[in-house]
Amino acid sequence: MKEGARGEGIDTKISTLGKPGIDSPVKSTTIFIDETERVLINTSLKYVQSCAGKKTAVPSFELAGPRKKIFFDPSKTKCGVVTCGGLCPGINDVIRSIVLELYFMYGVENIYGIPYGLQGFIPKYKHSFIELTPFFVEHIHEFGGTVLGSSRGAQNIAEIVDAIERVNMNVVFFIGGDGTLKAASAVAREALARGFKCSVIGIPKTIDNDINFVSKTFGFDTAVEEARGVIQCAHVEAKGAPFGIGLVKLMGRDSGFIAANAALASRDANFVLVPEEDFDLDGERGFLASLERRLQSRGHAVIVAAEGAGQKYFQDLPQKSDASGNIRKGDIGLFLRDRIEEYFHSKDIEINLKYIDPSYVIRSVPANASDSIFCGFLAQMAVHAGMSGKTDMLIGLWNNMYVHMPIALSTTSRKKIDIEGPLWMSVKESTGQPIMKN
């Protein structure tokens, strides 16, 4: 287990707006979650026994779910939903499930969608709030993207809280990735500093599955499923010509989870390049020589590259940031395509290379069945947390349980593949790729 995943020295306390004192209207369940119920961060028996020997508390997360007492009066509650950042399968599923849970389970009728991300809060953009009703969201899960629209880039936190306070929203759900969650935390802290009772709940959204201390983010399963089909197509193309090469670039700015899992799902990839493992291009043990040996022995090859792989080859280029403040990655797909063609041309070896970049297609499709179910759970748990007065937290899946997690904990660093762990070992065994370092 990598350092930090054991849970030592981390703060898992969840902020609250006050003591809940209203009986929950949720009648369909007879099982309410007690505030003392916890989920262990590290379930290793050896680790738990070591904590017992030291007489220290075993690090744990607060268990998510409906509470017997809630903080907000549903008949007077106003809620908002905002989606930020890039598209991802399942956003509409989350929006729909939030609305249905609030309306039918809690009796909250005043639910608003904030259009185009954080811009929707800022008066100068002149975006009108959208009234979210069960009728409005009835079929939105059948489509990809977000019915609310999205945007990137920071906005003034004080202006955001001004907008929330102006319409007296009691609960705001932020659906987004690392930058969105940081903004949500800042909004929660600003509201608390003003003495304004507003619950801010994050639902982590990143197709890359790189949120720290979150086992899986929604949309990831769909992305892997779609990516598997692309890899299979690349395999068909590669086998259909002499010395055929299928090169696929997949999402994964800092973490290669989609590339690794899609490769395992298809079992057609011969090389998987991810940000977590360095590789050399040239030299006897480099990638290009390894690719040549593969072609000479089998006649074809399939390469899967995460977008953040091999960034050392772009260090001399000027670094630019996108609207969210992320450093733009060099295009490893086009770079590899050109270098592969140059290498084999210099050796007078004719190859047939097909390059495929399906990124925008994959992130825009509707969620598959698995992700739709997952989105529903996340939304329901988020509503339970918000109505009970929790704030500055997100809903995450950890050890197969839904938990409350401080936003600050999830944004301290990005989750990455452990290249000494079982996932990457399985990829190496499946592909047979060597260590490509001289």
Domain for residue 4, yes or no? no
Residues of the chain with pLDDT > 70, as a percent, come to 95
Could you tell me if 191 and 306 lie in one domain? no
Is residue 9 one of the residues assigned to a domain?
no
We report the CATH number of the domain holding residue 310 as: 3.40.50.460
Distances in whole angstroms, Cα of residue 261 to Cα of each of 224, 243, 266, 401? 6, 26, 9, 22
- 208 and 227 together in one domain: no
pLDDT at residue 64 tops 60: yes
Same domain? 147 vs 276? no
The residue range of the domain holding 157 is: 15-217+366-410
Beta strands 390-391 and 244-250, pairing class:
unpaired
275 assigned to some structural domain? yes
Q: Let me know: does 275 contact 415? Beta carbons within 8 Å.
A: no
Mean pLDDT across the stretch 140-147?
Answer: 96
Answer yes or no: do 31 and 165 share one domain: yes
DSSP classification of residue 127: P
- Residue 362's Cβ-count burial label (10 Å; 0-12, 13-18, 19+) is buried
Please report whether residue 2 resides in a domain: no
Question: H helices then E strands: how many in the chain?
Answer: 12, 17
* 314-360 per-position pLDDT tens digit: 987 766 666 556 677 899 999 999 999 999 999 999 999 999 999 99
Judge if 198 and 72 occupy the same domain.
Answer: yes
Residue 84 lies in a domain: yes
The total number of structural domains in the chain stands at 2
User: CA triplet 189, 207, 434: central angle to 5 degrees?
Assistant: 125
Predicted confidence (pLDDT) per residue in 351-362, tens digit: 999 999 999 999
Nearest Cα to Cα of residue 149 among 125, 169, 167, 184? 125
Q: What is the pLDDT of residues 254-263, one digit of tens each?
A: 999 999 999 9
pLDDT of 2 reads 46
Tell me: do 63 and 198 sit in the same domain.
yes
Residue 306 predicted with pLDDT over 70 = yes
The mean pLDDT value of the chain amounts to 93
Q: Are residues 354 and 378 in the same domain?
A: no
Give me the CATH number covering residue 194: 3.40.50.450
This model's pTM is above 0.75? yes
Catalytic residues: 208
What pLDDT shows up at residue 8? 63
